[in-house]
Amino acid sequence: MNPMITHDFIRDIRINQNKSGYRFSVDALILASFVSLPRAQRIADLGAGSGIIGLLLARQYAGAEVMLVELQESLAKRAKENIALNNLEGRVQVVKADVKEICMKLSEFYALQSQVGKGHAAQNKAPAGDYGMMAEGFDLVVSNPPFRRAKAGLLSLGDERAVARHELMLSLKDLVQAGALMLKHHGKFCIIHLPERLTDIIRVMNACGMEPKRLRPVHSNASSEAKMVLVEAVKGARTGMKVERPLFIFDETGNYTEEMQRMYSCDAGLG
């Protein structure tokens, strides 16, 4: 047994994590539980880390193919191990890729398609390899992204946790644009983020052709301000957003609320 790895469980998912590196938090479970689709055939998780959100969704949507997109080599390797650990190799795959590169490749592809549609003599050719699979269209894209703006000189690109939590390698704009390019028309994009970034999130989603349709604030308890916000956007949808009741993580005794306990339950349904 590797002393630098912990072996954890969440619902019916077994997950190995680096003891001193990036580790998933309750945010991952909350985001997975926020997803609301009656069915899904193709799902992508951008910035998948060790793979927990994608694995939870693979269990919920039993027929779905799930793509875990992760830039960091150490986390991509751990995600592959966790796929095997949960016997999901047939439906879940890891793609080690930079979301900025996804934006560039897919933008070029769709621009080329547009030129072909206008009668220009260009080849209608999908991007090669993994990027070609991304261009086929997803029903759902999720992300628990780097939350905080990087402060120059204070964070290291070699720090697994720093890269996962700060916008060192991935900006909000690149993330949302990649999600929009990967989604089918009327596909859903679900994200958990900081409340203070909400106006940025909505502005960027609108610029990328996605309309925020559901919003749910997340509070530590009933007396605290929102610590996180969940947002669902739909590609190509009309305007109109539903603000759902707050999610409280802890009750007045400091224990998980009944809703949080249900999220942790192995027979919990998503959405």
Three-state secondary structure of 103-123: HHHHHHHHHHHHHHHCCCCCC
Report the distance separating Cα 173 and Cα 157, nearest Å.
20
Average pLDDT over residues 128-146: 83
Q: Tell me if 269 is assigned to some domain.
A: no
**Residue range 232-240: average pLDDT?**
96
Evaluate whether residue 270 is within a structural domain: no
8-12, 138-142, 214-218, range with the lowest pLDDT: 8-12
Does 117 fall in a domain? yes
Residue 19 burial (10 A CB sphere; 0-12, 13-18, 19+): exposed
Q: Which of 60-74, 158-172, 226-240, 247-261 has the lowest mean pLDDT?
A: 158-172
Residue 167 belongs to a domain: yes
pLDDT value, residue 130: 67
Decide if 123 is inside a domain. yes
Confidence grade of residue 129 (pLDDT, cut at 50, 70, 90):
low
DSSP string of 167-184, one letter each residue: TTS--HHHHHHHHHHHEE
How many helices (H) and strands (E) the chain has is answered by 9, 11
Place 155 in a pLDDT band, splitting at 50, 70 and 90. Answer: very low
Q: Which amino acid is at 54?
A: G
Confirm whether 52 is domain-assigned. Answer: yes
State pTM to two decimals.
0.86
**Model pLDDT for residues 85-123, shown as the tens digit of each residue:** 999 999 999 999 999 998 888 888 888 777 765 555 445
Percent helix, strand, coil in the chain, to 5, is 35, 25, 40
% of the chain surpassing 70 pLDDT:
82
Per the prediction, the chain carries an average pLDDT of: 86
User: What CATH number did the domain enclosing 178 receive?
Assistant: 3.40.50.150
Please tell me which residue, 136 or 94, carries the higher pLDDT value: 94
Q: Which domain holds residue 106?
A: 5-264
Q: Please check the confidence at residue 57 and state whether its pLDDT lies above 70.
A: yes
Residue 218, domain member (yes or no): yes
Q: Determine the Cα–Cα distance for residues 51 and 103; give it in Å rounded to an integer.
A: 21
User: Does 271 reside within a domain?
Assistant: no
Mean pLDDT of all residues in 66-94: 95
* C-alpha neighbours within 13 Å on the C-beta side of residue 143: 29
In this prediction, residue 153 carries a pLDDT of 47
Q: How many domains does the chain have?
A: 1
The whole-number pLDDT of residue 146 equals 81
